[in-house]
Structure 1
Amino acid sequence: MSLDRFPSLPEVHRSISIPDGRGFWRKLLAYAGPGYLVSVGYIDPGNWATDIAGGSQFGYTLLSAILMSNLMAVLLQSLCVRLGVATGKDLAQVCRNYFSPHISFILWVLCEIAIVACDLAELLGSAIALKLLFGMPLFWGVCITALDVLALLFLQSKGFRYVEALVFVLVTTVGLCYGAEILFSRPELGSILQGYLPNREILRNPEMLYIAIGILGATVMPHNLYLHSSIVQTRAWQPTPQKKWEAIEFGTLDSTIALSFALFINSAILIVAAATFHQAGYHEVAEIQDAYKLLSPLLGVSAASTIFGVALLASGQSSTLTATLAGQIVMEGFLRFRLPPWLRRLATRLLAIIPALIAIVFFGEQSTGRLLVFSQVVLSLQLSFAVVPLVMFTSDRQLMGEFVNPKWLKVVAWAIAAIIIALNAWLILQTVIGWLFA
């Protein structure tokens, strides 16, 4: 049976109309939305853990890792737009068509592992925020956060624009909160600019490299590539070459703007940690809870910790929406198997709840920071298995036709894939050496 009879996210597929007029701003507004859903994955609680750890231990040095990761993300997400618009299929569907059933199944399993790791970070982040703001024990916060599936189901029943609007409000809330935190922390501009420059010390220092790859995993998320190639198809552009090029142009612009905002938030988290904790000699702040407790006393601003908690809660709640959609997309695309959305969400959450509750019960609440960073490294290790097929498919003229990657884009895209593979191989080597000589 033709894959065309299995549209990606069928309940919202091509549900948002595009104006016929030529007004730039009207069209940009019509196409705006998917980029912000994707950007959520770049500012989720997993990013907070890696950015806070990196800023407190190494000052501004790892800003270069954030910048490099974000530039990679902009290009990779643009390839997702190109694939989704040109083929009318998402990345999971194309993988199923192109690869053997065994390879497709392995890719699906790896992607599910990445989604669970991502969901674990979001679950812990929201639970931590509830504890910090309202004193709720982490155990119960984890359990209550698992019920947020109801919010997504309600919004999706009203229309996909409602999902996009909520995510936009939550992302904006995080940005405004961290804009205030930067003003409170008064960082050094010269040190910030220097931090964005590449530093060889990152490759020589195993601890720094571990966090840098965690930042990469927290920024460029494998499930986001599947998600983006699907949700661009919620727009009802005309299926002509001219309109497809227009959809690629505006879809790429949407994601680039949204990811630039995510770059600001990601950088701000590390900058505040560097200016507040590293400068004051607190080099071991890796737990979000510790950051919350120290912010107000160190900055001398009583509202600083509360603003931090509000931003964390907004981040966790926005992130949880996209993991649900990504899980639905990869299951339907790879397996052509649909579960009711509430059951799919509940299954994903249960898989994330188990390691979270085990860590809290047996290792104490102080273990959550290490678990968050570890989840982001797991995401990074899965990344190659999504990036390589994406670059391969968008470089295939038989599949893409006139929308195939030009030669310069092929070179850059494959270079990014090689960098990701090399960094992950280096991390594994350093980890094994550390175990052998520990």
Structure 2
Amino acid sequence: MTNRHHAGHPHPHGTEPDEPAQGDRSLLAVLGPGLVTGAADDDPSGIGTYSQVGAQFGYSLAWAMLFGFPLLASIQAICARIGATTGRGIAHNLKRHYSPWVLRMVVALLVVANVINIGADLGAMAAALHLLIPAPIAAFTVVFALVSIAAEVLLPYNRYANVLKWTTLSLFAYPLVLFVAHVPWPEVARGVLLPSFSFDHDHAMGLVAMFGTTISPYLFFWQSGQEVEEQRRRHTKPLHVSPRRYVTSELRRIRTDTLVGMGISNLTAQAIVIATAATLHVHGITQITSADQAASALRPVAGDFAFALFALGIIGTGLLAVPVLAGSAAYVISEAFGWTEGLDRPAREARAFYGTIALATLGGLLINFMPIDPMTALYWSAVVNGLLAPPVMVVTMLIARNKAIMGNLVIGRGLMIGGWLSTAVMAAVALLFLFA
């Protein structure tokens, strides 16, 4: 691998930063890419995974979410810093500084996994709405796909970013379920704080599914790309050519945004595991194959309100996750081919970028009308994501520690340890997935 460019060359866009210090900004103003990325992590397919873990294993794997939080937060903070420091997304940095075959592999696998995931999420959203409104699932699937495309293509970025922020409120549906279910909190505390693990195939697959769902490559590219979008929106320069005072403030913002976003994501996933363990597992319902099935199974044991909350949460998180999945595919392809990209660009200036968003979403829609079992498709999406994550994380760590790319803003010892530990855990998860 060779380095062909130095971070010292200023990025062409932006003016001198003129932002208030973080202490002068409200928390809502500080939250942005990290919050949206964290919320998108709990997409309908993820909800199905967490529901299955809770239903099958009760509270015995609840510790994995607590263990995984610092790993997720570390790697996402590193991705955000790459985008903010260089003014370019991860794929763009890969293209500029590393071997082309690495980029080609990442692009191909990420796009395939994202399209399959979009298809699974669209199907889950439609099935969840069907539980509430008895109408054809196929029609709902088409409507959700078109709404997702229209939101990304037609809404101005400022308004769209705010829509994404407010859509994260749908995650609160899952903690609310805990208030209407009978939860034995001492037993929950033991499951969360006292790790236990049985070395058998089922537990291995459960653990793999949780980590594979939580730490997904598309999140890396989305958060990095969104940091670049934020710089364009605020007309600021990349951090490597910004004044020290501004850099310090921005790094604090990224840390706060990422910790809050990943914290909410982690707590939501934990709430789903606990809710399904407290309702489905204790009643002997141990096999859940989709998020909408989890909602249906909740109804007789937890009541209509819990059922409705669960179903509405699936729809809300899907409306957030599908654009993120399509958007991350568009970022990585556009950066790889040098196309004009960015949700802040008018459609006429970034036709290929928005066209990729539309094609990825329509490709996911098409999967729902093919003779493909959705859970089989989702399984293979998880396989691709699980195998793709470790090499992408390795390259991400190399970028983050490369002074030729990051200048004097290479990540420090704490993030370096957290990032490499996260990478090692995901490599172990990939091996477990292959050989368990």
Common fold: TM-score over 0.5: yes
Aligned to 2:211: 216
Aligned to 1:404: 410
User: In the superposition, relative to structure 1, how do residues 279 and 18 fare at CA in structure 2: closer, same or farther (>3 Å)?
Assistant: farther
Of 301, 310, 332, which residue of structure 2 is paired with 1:308?
Answer: 310
Of 166, 173, 191, which residue of structure 1 is paired with 2:163?
Answer: 166
Aligned to 2:107: 108
Q: Which letter does structure 1 place at the counterpart of 2:73?
A: V
Deviation of residue 120 (structure 1)? Answer: 2.5
Q: Does the 8 Å contact 1:114/1:222 carry over to 2? A: no
> C-alpha offsets along residues 139-161 of structure 1, whole Å, 9 cap, x if unaligned?
33333322120122222xx2x23
Q: Which letter does structure 1 place at the counterpart of 2:363?
A: L
- Tell me the SS of whatever aligns to 2:288: coil
**Count of residue pairs the alignment pairs up:** 412
Deviation of residue 348 (structure 1)? Answer: 0.6
Larger deviation: 241-250 or 46-55? 241-250
Aligned to 1:436: none
Q: Does the 8 Å contact 2:131/2:311 carry over to 1? A: yes
In 2, the alpha carbon distance for the partners of 1:401 and 1:19 equals: 22
Q: Which letter does structure 1 place at the counterpart of 2:177?
A: E
Aligned to 1:423: 429
Aligned to 2:387: 381
Larger deviation: 117-126 or 217-226? 117-126
In 2, the alpha carbon distance for the partners of 1:269 and 1:141 equals: 24
Deviation of residue 27 (structure 1)? Answer: 6.4
In 2, the alpha carbon distance for the partners of 1:48 and 1:20 equals: 37
Aligned to 2:348: none
> Does structure 1 residue 260 correspond to structure 2 residue 263?
yes
Deviation of residue 102 (structure 1)? Answer: 2.6
Deviation of residue 241 (structure 1)? Answer: 3.1
Of 329, 332, 335, which residue of structure 1 is paired with 2:334?
Answer: 332
Larger deviation: 54-63 or 331-340? 331-340
Deviation of residue 302 (structure 1)? Answer: 2.5
Of 357, 369, 373, which residue of structure 2 is paired with 1:345?
Answer: 357
In 2, the alpha carbon distance for the partners of 1:33 and 1:164 equals: 8
In 2, the alpha carbon distance for the partners of 1:257 and 1:345 equals: 27
Aligned to 1:391: 397
> C-alpha offsets along residues 373-413 of structure 1, whole Å, 9 cap, x if unaligned?
55334322221132111111111233222211223432332
> Does structure 1 residue 229 correspond to structure 2 residue 232?
no
In 2, the alpha carbon distance for the partners of 1:182 and 1:244 equals: 41
- Tell me the SS of whatever aligns to 1:303: helix
> C-alpha offsets along residues 238-293 of structure 1, whole Å, 9 cap, x if unaligned?
52233123212111211211211111211111111100000111112333333222
> Does structure 1 residue 357 correspond to structure 2 residue 360?
no
Matching of residues 289-308 of structure 1 within 5 Å: 289-299=292-302, 301-308=303-310
User: In the superposition, relative to structure 1, how do residues 22 and 407 fare at CA in structure 2: closer, same or farther (>3 Å)?
Assistant: closer
Deviation of residue 183 (structure 1)? Answer: 0.6
Larger deviation: 41-50 or 133-142? 133-142
Matching of residues 11-410 of structure 1 within 5 Å: 20-22=19-21, 24-26=23-25, 28-148=27-147, 149-155=149-155, 158=156, 160-175=157-172, 177-197=173-193, 199=195, 201-202=197-198, 204-233=199-228, 234-235=230-231, 236=234, 237=236, 239-299=242-302, 301-337=303-339, 339-358=351-370, 361=371, 367-369=373-375, 371-410=377-416
Overall identity of the aligned pairs, in %: 20
Extract unaligned runs of 5+ from structure 1. Answer: 431-438
In 2, the alpha carbon distance for the partners of 1:145 and 1:427 equals: 32
In 1, the alpha carbon distance for the partners of 2:243 and 2:258 equals: 22
Q: Which letter does structure 1 place at the counterpart of 2:187?
A: S
Deviation of residue 209 (structure 1)? Answer: 1.8
Runs of 4+ in 1 over 6 A off after TM superposition: 1-4
User: In the superposition, relative to structure 1, how do residues 28 and 56 fare at CA in structure 2: closer, same or farther (>3 Å)?
Assistant: closer
In 1, the alpha carbon distance for the partners of 2:194 and 2:105 equals: 35
In 2, the alpha carbon distance for the partners of 1:215 and 1:266 equals: 9
Deviation of residue 223 (structure 1)? Answer: 1.3
In 2, the alpha carbon distance for the partners of 1:272 and 1:186 equals: 9
Larger deviation: 343-352 or 21-30? 21-30
Aligned to 2:347: none
In 1, the alpha carbon distance for the partners of 2:81 and 2:290 equals: 39
In 2, the alpha carbon distance for the partners of 1:399 and 1:427 equals: 33
Aligned to 1:435: none
For the aligned residue pairs, the C-alpha RMSD in angstroms reads 2.7
In 2, the alpha carbon distance for the partners of 1:395 and 1:144 equals: 44
In 1, the alpha carbon distance for the partners of 2:322 and 2:152 equals: 9
Deviation of residue 29 (structure 1)? Answer: 4.3
In 2, the alpha carbon distance for the partners of 1:224 and 1:86 equals: 18
User: In the superposition, relative to structure 1, how do residues 116 and 211 fare at CA in structure 2: closer, same or farther (>3 Å)?
Assistant: farther
User: In the superposition, relative to structure 1, how do residues 46 and 392 fare at CA in structure 2: closer, same or farther (>3 Å)?
Assistant: same
User: In the superposition, relative to structure 1, how do residues 245 and 257 fare at CA in structure 2: closer, same or farther (>3 Å)?
Assistant: same
In 2, the alpha carbon distance for the partners of 1:72 and 1:129 equals: 31
- Tell me the SS of whatever aligns to 2:36: helix
Deviation of residue 82 (structure 1)? Answer: 1.7
> C-alpha offsets along residues 313-360 of structure 1, whole Å, 9 cap, x if unaligned?
1011111221232122101111213544442123112332343333xx
Q: TM-score by structure 1 length?
A: 0.86
Q: Which letter does structure 2 place at the counterpart of 1:59?
A: G
Deviation of residue 19 (structure 1)? Answer: 5.8
In 2, the alpha carbon distance for the partners of 1:412 and 1:18 equals: 30
Q: Does the 8 Å contact 2:334/2:353 carry over to 1? A: no
Q: Which letter does structure 1 place at the counterpart of 2:164?
A: V
Q: TM-score by structure 2 length?
A: 0.86
In 2, the alpha carbon distance for the partners of 1:308 and 1:287 equals: 12
Q: Which letter does structure 1 place at the counterpart of 2:426?
A: I
